[in-house]
Homo-oligomer: A and B are copies of this chain.
Amino acid sequence: MSKRLSDCRVTVVGLGLMGASLCMDLVQGHFCREVRGVAHRTETALRAFFADAVDQATTDLHAGVAGADIVILATPVRTIVSMIEELGAILWPGTIVIDMGSTKGEICAALDRLPTGIQPLGAHPMTGKEQAGFTAAEPGLYVGAPWVLTPLPRTSPAALALVTELAQAVGARPFILDAQRHDRLVAAISHLPFLLATALVHAVADTGEDDPMVWELAAGGFRDTSRVAASDTRMFMDILATNREAVLAQVDAFDAHLHELRTLLAAGNEADLAAKLTRSQQLRANWRKK
């Protein structure tokens, strides 16, 4: 008989925004037998424990994962990759290992090198906010969020079913994709927007060097368009480094459209400029109205 989520001891490694928010939901909903948190810093482990975000907290990875049915890696992408190498030697057979990383190619390759008997599965819950760390964590973060699952050929249907149950328990909407397809899509909708927001902040900062009034006047258009530039730098360095080719392709696709807009504006070609603006206006206004 296959295992149910309510029978499982779940260990979340990394108690930042994503990991700690998930722990809070799992604890408050009583979805698992036990929720353990592994933090890098003692202070974070203590805070999580005394905030009742976890049932148990430790800074010791080996102790944290011992006896766990499901291990969830919730650190920056390249830390996940190196942690998978470390975990291979210590996990019990039958353990399900998933991650919450924002890119999937390198992580799934590392997961596939885990010893036979361990059940790996890539995962990426697509939510968050620009604040990072345990202090930004909150229950309900995953409600309504797409949660991509990238099973490997070796992933068992039972493991996939259990992780799907976990994602749905916290209110997320699971989607099953392969790693390459995931990485191409998130390059367009997440990594490209981050780079645009970053370049926008630099452009406005240049204007602000001459005239600091620009920061006083900046209103909704700047606020929304630049918001993701405030995201954690280390997290995004790992994302960009592990999804470089797909990101560069999206930057080039964007750049072609921006140049077309620039050319139409410079030439005073109002008919074609209006047609191009109308198309994106309608696409964006109708998104999610379907």
Point out the residues of chain B lying under 8 angstroms from A215, CB to CB.
287
Point out the residues of chain B lying under 8 angstroms from A231, CB to CB.
281
Question: Cα distance A249–B263 when bound, in Å?
Answer: 13
B189 lies within 8 A of A273 (CB): no
Question: Cα distance A237–B281 when bound, in Å?
Answer: 12
Stretch at the interface among A28-36, A51-59, A218-226: A218-226
- Report if A265-B247 is in contact (Cβ < 8 Å); known contacts: A202-B257, A203-B254, A227-B225: yes
- Report if A127-B237 is in contact (Cβ < 8 Å); known contacts: A230-B285, A257-B202: no
A126 lies within 8 A of B185 (CB): no
Q: A155 an interface residue at 8 Å Cβ cutoff?
A: no
Question: Cα distance A250–B280 when bound, in Å?
Answer: 21
B196 lies within 8 A of A184 (CB): no
A283 lies within 8 A of B248 (CB): no
Point out the residues of chain B lying under 8 angstroms from A43, CB to CB.
none
Question: Cα distance A248–B47 when bound, in Å?
Answer: 50
Nearest first, the 9 A-B pairs at minimum CB distance are: A193-B225, A199-B257, A201-B280, A230-B284, A199-B258, A189-B222, A202-B257, A203-B254, A230-B285
